[in-house]
Amino acid sequence: MEQRDIAKFQGSLIQIMEQRQIGMNKERGGIEGLDEHLSQRVAAAPCMETVIEELQEALETACRISFRIRNISQKATLHKSVPWWTQNLTILRKKINEQRWKFQRTKGNNDLRDHRKEQYLATKAEYTAAIRKERYTSWKGC
C-alpha cells in the first residue's frame, strides 16, 4: 500500500467521521482530532456497541471510497489453488498425464502396452504419495 493510498484513506475517514459525528471539533482536525473525539465518545457512551457499529460503518465507507476493488473473474473462483501445491507436483502431474496418454493409445502391441501400463501405475503411485506427503507436511507446520 502506498503512502498516498494511506493519506487518501485517512482523509476520507476524517471527512466521513465529521459528517456522521456532530460535535467533532473541526479546528483540531486530522487523525489526532479524530482520535481524541473517539476516545471522548467511547468514554461517554452508555452503549459501546453503538459506537463500534458507527466506527465500523465509517471504516467500511472510507475503504470503499479510497481503495480499488479488483474484479475477480469467475474462472479464478472456480479453480482455487492450494497452499501446499509445489512445482514438483505440477511436473509429476504432467508426467503422469503423458504416461497415461501413451498407455491408452498403445494398440496392437500387448507387450509394449503392458510395459507402459506398469510405468503409468508406478508414476501414479509416486504422484499420489507425493501429494499425500505435501498435504501432511503443510498441516504439520501449523
Domain boundaries, the chain: 3-66, 79-140
pLDDT exceeds cutoff 70 at 17: yes
Indicate the average pLDDT of the chain. Answer: 82
pLDDT band at 77 (very low <50, low <70, confident <90, very high): low
pTM of the model: 0.44
> Percent of the chain, pLDDT > 70?
82
118 or 82, greater pLDDT: 118
State the DSSP string of the chain. --HHHHHHHHHHHHHHHHHHSTT--TTT-HHHHHHHHHHHHHHH-S-HHHHHHHHHHHHHHHHHHHSPPPPPPHHHHHS---TT--HHHHHHHHHHHHHHHHHHH--S-HHHHHHHHHHHHHHHHHHHHHHHHHHHHHHHT-
